[in-house]
Structure 1
């Protein structure tokens, strides 16, 4: 009977996912629903309901450790990397502790209860953020698979840091993707305005938007097709200040927009366009594999700040559910 219930849950979560992305694909809820379907599927297959929290916690712990080990290099020694290393090791230790202790819970001695309680620490500590990470990754993957609408009124290229005043590979990939999108639209008879967006950092000799414009012109895009945004310092400012430029040109309300960034950045950028009420499709440029883990971790942590109340409410529900489980489901000695 239990596997049948789990399969019904899988189907329900998937139906809700399809309905959600049809109405608005830029919602983290899509990833939550996919995570729910995956969780129900694992229990339907006979796995422990703790497998998914364990996996999520392990992956998140490894991401923190990977980011933290940078501190072994003198140039990267800072408090943030040290905290990441300690937090990652703690998450991995808690997860291992749960895996070791929880199998003893089916027997009915006093030690069983203590072992089960210690094992379930993973639910209150790394389990919840691990599941949230899984839901965010699933949301990002689902959104990345979505095909962008044709005929955007404008294309916004999001900037990233310059290296020694020049466009590095990461940013060049974004600009190459922008150029391709523009040429594809031109081939269809459309002429969208392109907005290279990025301000000047303290260690940069010029605004990113200026360097991005020079790169695009050098790679065959006419200068009249470009409108520089050179004041932004964050992704949100990229979008807001680019919208100001489009409004000044009478483009803001003439159709949807295309936003181009790196693949790891697509999910959060899409959440921001929805939050700012921008009708936009976000597409991703290729990113070197070795850059992805630390970059995605930063995006996940930044995305958490976009929904603080929802995440706090989710954590509260998680704690209450775990407390209920400990009170009524764990055998007492």
Structure 2
């Protein structure tokens, strides 16, 4: 099968097309023909083995990538199931987490898949898993957003941000999105009641106070973020770090954890959504919102499988609107 492989850590240029053996569904596994796969910041972190501390924790690989084929978000069609699999059959159209998604076929487990909403194409469906589940957890699970609250999403035009704005609106919150000039109309179209152009003003200096801030960008001093919260408001920190950092976003998230016991506000890190986590219920919740017409994936660009490196490079530069998707078959 055609696949994009990575044999060493490095920039997107280390990715290369190759012909490799197709996987087979083992016991409790599902074989999916991949039609589209999304690119996440997670992917370039794995590609670079970044932050370096992640290599020591064992999930990335110490001196070279643990997985030959990159990619995790996918949408496609089930072609085979292994022994012991119930509830998923060949021919089912699905979306979810498929390790090795930058390929024509990938194996995963049934708990990491849900039915693809009928109204979504495969490219839109592939944009959903990691970004939408992370946004759901940031806004609903960790952030505890409620109707009538004032919610600010920093990085509102990104992959997670576009989902977060819509999810917060669906919960009845009054949403403010922070983005660059070129994305103001996009964020407004997602339902944000207010949009702050960060190239013209700093949301922490506007005098506004929010019940919940989801920070997808990082890099701001914790004191400034707290200043934009109500006295009992919640900060959900998700972001920070850049290629080559020893600790990456983990350093800023640890500072949030350390400060939380000493303030009245709730300061919470958003633990990354990983493919082996309990995600099935969250995937179902997100697809229910999509089927109800309350959430729509935003796809920025698409690239063919052979140009996956260009797609990863685009996401790594940090200027993608919504999601970047790889078309496979």
TM more than 0.5: no
Q: Structure 1 length as normaliser, TM-score?
A: 0.27
Q: Structure 2 length as normaliser, TM-score?
A: 0.27
> Which structure shows the higher helix fraction?
1
Which of these two proteins has the greater Rg computed from alpha carbons?
1
Greater RCO (Cα-Cα under 8 Å, separation 6 or more): 2
